[in-house]
Structure 1
Amino acid sequence: MTVPEESWTRERLERRLLGEEPMLTSEQVAAAAGVSIEDARRLWRALGFPDAGESAAFTDADLSALGLMIDAVREGIIDFDTAVRLTRAVGQTMAKLADWQVATLSSRVEQLEKGDQATGSRIGSAMRVAEKVGVPFEAVLIYAWRRHLAAAVGRVEALGANDADLHTVEVTVGFADLVSFTALSNEMDEDRIGDMVEVFESRCADVVASHGGRVIKTLGDSVLFIAEGPVQGADIALRIVEVIRRDKRLPDVKIGLSAGAVVMRLGDVFGPPVNMAARLTAVARRNRVITDPATAALLPPSEFETQRLPPRPLRGFGVVEPVAVRRP
C-alpha cells in the first residue's frame, strides 16, 4: 500500500535513509567516544551540520564514525586539527554529491510518476529509486574514492611538489567562462538554466579528463581546471572552445590560461596563476584563449600561434600585455 505523500515527514525520511532512529544526544556520543563535548561538536560542524543542542539527534553509526576518527588521533596517526580538516573535506564533498545526486534522480522520479510505474507519491518513488540505487552507488563511491586517491598521490610526485611543502606544485591553470551568461539566464526559466549549466560543465569535464587535466571546481557559468604543463593546458583550452562553439545549446566561451606555482588544499587551488587566469578571462573576447607573456613563452611555436594583444590593466597585476593562443 502506498504511503500518502503528506505522511512523509522529515523525521520519517531521515530514519528511512539512515536505517536507524536517532537515539543519542551529543553529550552521550561524546562520553561514549571518550572526548569532550566541544571536540565532538567541532567535528560535527566540520562535517557540515549545526549543533544539535540537547536533542537526541545521533545514531550508533554517528558514534562509530566519531570513534574511528578519535582512535586515529589517539594512535598518533593524525592530530586533532588534521582530523577536523579531513572531516571538513569529507563533509563538503559529500554535501555537494548528495545535492547533485538528488537533483539528478529528481528527473527520473518525474518520469516514473508520469508512466505506468507511478505510485501516486513523488517522495515514495524517490525513496524507491534511492534505495535501489543506494547499494551499487555506495560501492562505486568507495571505488571512485580509491581511484582518485591513487591519482592524487601520484600527482604529488608527477607535479614536482616542493619537498618543503607538498601542497605547492607547478601547474597550468585554466578558467573557462560562458559569454553573456547573466543576460541569458535572465531570459530563461530555471529548468533551461539548469540544463545549460549541466551541458557546459559536462562538456568541459569531458575535455579536461580526456586530455589528462583535472576540473577543480565549477561555478555555474565557469569552470576552473588545471593541467600539468602549458602545452597540455593550451590543448585543453582550445579544445573546450571547439566543443562549446559546436554546441548550439550553449553561448560562446572565453578562456584565460596561466602557468606557475599554486597551493593545493582541500581540493582547491590558490595562487597568482589562478588569479591571473580569472583576470584574463574577464578581458578575453568570445571563443578566444588568452594567456600572459610568461606562459606564452613556454608554448612551442611549432604547435601554437601566439599574438600579442594591446596592454590592459588587470586588477592585482597592473598593466599586462595579454597573448592570444590558437592553432597554426
Structure 2
Amino acid sequence: MSEVAGSSGAEEPEEPEGRERTEGEEGDEGTEGAGGAEGAVRAEGPEGDEDPIALRIEQLVLGSERRYTPFQAARAAGVPMELAARFWRAMGFADIGQAKALTEADVLALRRLAGLVEAGLLSEAMAVQVARSTGQTTARLADWQIDSFLEGLTEPQEGMSRTEIAYPLVELLLPELEEFLVYVWRRQLAAATGRVVQAQDDDEMVDRRLAVGFADLVGFTRLTRRLEEEELGELVEAFETTAADLVAAHGGRLIKTLGDEVLFAADEAGTAAEISVRLIETLAHDETMPELRVGIAFGTVTTRMGDVFGTTVNLASRLTSIAPKDTVLVDGDFAEELIGDGDAPESEAEATAAEKAAAEGGTGEAAPSYRFALQPMWQRPVRGLGVVEPWLLSRRT
C-alpha cells in the first residue's frame, strides 16, 4: 500500500508570513495531514533514499511528479482539509504526515470529486461512497495485475534487475490497459444502468428481488492442510475462473469471491438455476476439483457498493452449508418463482402426466418443456432464520 495520507501530530507545512489558514486546514485529530495518492511509492534503499527506478515508474504511471504535501494539495484543489482526508482515506490511501508526495493528478481528482458535491450531483456521503467503492475495486485489480501478470512477465534477465525490466514494460502496457479498463467499466455501467431503468419503482432500485446463490467447495479446509501453497492457489484460481465464466455467460452477476466460495446473483430464478446446475456439472467432470455444493434463495435484497445484503443472502448462505455435496438446495420462494416461470413443474407426477398425454396426442398440445426438477426436502431449523423447507434442484433429463 502506498503511503499518502497524513497522521495526526505531523508537523504542518510552513505558511507564508501573515497568511491566515483557510477553512479545513486545521482539522480534527486523526484527519490533520491526511492526503492520498496510491502511487506515492516509498521504496527505500539501504540509506533510506527512495529507489530512483520506483520513482520513475511512479511518475510514469501518475503522469506527473510529486509537488504537494496533503495540505498544499487540498488548498490547491479548493477543498477543506477534513473533506480531502475523508476522500483520500475512502480511496484506501495511507497516511504520510506532511511528506511532499502528491501530484497534479491528485489535485485534479480531488477537485472533481468535490465539484460533484458542490454542484449538487452527489451528496458528501455519496461522494465518499464513490471514492471507497472505486478505491476498493481498483486496489484489488492493481494487486492482481502486479502479482499475477506483471510479475510473470518481468523475470530477471542477465545484467538487469526485475525493476529495470518493469519500467519499459509498464510504459508499453499502461495506455492499453487504461483504455481497456475504461471500456470494461463503461460496458458494466451500461448494464447496471439498464437494470435500474427497468426497475418497477424507486424502492426497487435499492431493495430488489433477486436470486442469490453461494457455491462452496466441499472439504476446502482439509485441502489447505494437504496441498502446497502454490497448488492451493492454482486450485482456487481455477475455481474462481470457472465460476466467473459460467456466471457471466449465463446472464448472472458475480458479486464476490471468497477463496473457496463464490457469491452470485441473477434477476430471474431460471438464470440462477442454470448457473448453479452447470457449476455442479462442470466441476464434477474435473478430477482436480473437490465436490461442490450450492444454495440459492429468492427475495428482497439490499444492494450497496456492488455487494448484496439481507435475509435472502443469509438464507442462501445457510442453505449452502447444509447442502449435500454435488447438489443444489433452494428455498421455497425460489421454487415458487421457478414453477411460476414455467421452468419447473409443481411435481414430477404432473410433468409425467402432461408428457404422456402429449405423446398420446390426446390433448392436441405440446408437452411442456421443463428444464429443472424440484424435490421437497424435510423441514429443518436453520440457525438465525427459523424453520425452512429446502428443495433439491436438479436438471430434468
Aligned-pair distance for 1:108? Answer: 2.5
| Amino acid in the other structure paired with 2:85 | R
Distance 1:134 1:161, change over 3 A: farther
The alignment partner of 1:184 has SS state of helix
The alignment partner of 1:137 has SS state of helix
Question: What are the within-5 Å matches in structure 2 for residues 206-221 of structure 1?
Answer: 206-221=245-260
What is the match of residue 180 of structure 2?
140
| Aligned partner of 1:184 among 203, 209, 223 | 223
| Aligned partner of 1:40 among 73, 79, 84 | 84
The alignment partner of 1:297 has SS state of helix
| Aligned partner of 2:298 among 241, 251, 259 | 259
Aligned-pair distance for 1:169? Answer: 1.1
What is the match of residue 144 of structure 2?
100
What is the match of residue 241 of structure 1?
280
Pairing 1:55–2:95 present: no
| Aligned partner of 2:206 among 137, 158, 167 | 167
Instruction: Measure, in 2, the Cα distance between the counterparts of 1:20 and 1:236.
Output: 46
Question: Which of 316-325 and 208-217 deviates more?
Answer: 316-325
The alignment partner of 2:293 has SS state of strand
Question: What are the within-5 Å matches in structure 2 for residues 110-121 of structure 1?
Answer: 112-113=155-156, 120-121=160-161
What is the match of residue 322 of structure 1?
390
- CA shift digits 1:153-175 (9 cap, x unpaired): 011133x3532352111110110
The alignment partner of 2:202 has SS state of coil
The alignment partner of 1:313 has SS state of strand
- Percent sequence identity is 42
Pairing 1:125–2:165 present: yes
TM-score (norm 1): 0.91
| Aligned partner of 1:310 among 378, 382, 393 | 378
Relative to total residues, which structure has the larger helix share, 1 or 2?
A: 1
- Structure 1 contact 161–170 (Cα < 8 Å) conserved: no
Where do 5+ consecutive residues of structure 1 fail to align? none
Instruction: Give the CA RMSD over aligned residues.
Output: 2.0
Q: How many residues align?
A: 319
Where do 5+ consecutive residues of structure 2 fail to align? 1-44, 339-343, 346-369
What is the match of residue 149 of structure 1?
189
- CA shift digits 1:244-303 (9 cap, x unpaired): 111222111100011111111101011111111110000111110001122112222132
Aligned-pair distance for 1:119? Answer: 5.7
| Amino acid in the other structure paired with 2:383 | R
Q: Which has the larger radius of gyration?
A: 2
Distance 1:176 1:226, change over 3 A: same
Instruction: Measure, in 2, the Cα distance between the counterparts of 1:77 and 1:216.
Output: 27
Distance 1:132 1:95, change over 3 A: same
| Amino acid in the other structure paired with 1:48 | G
Moved over 6 A (4+): none
The alignment partner of 2:79 has SS state of coil
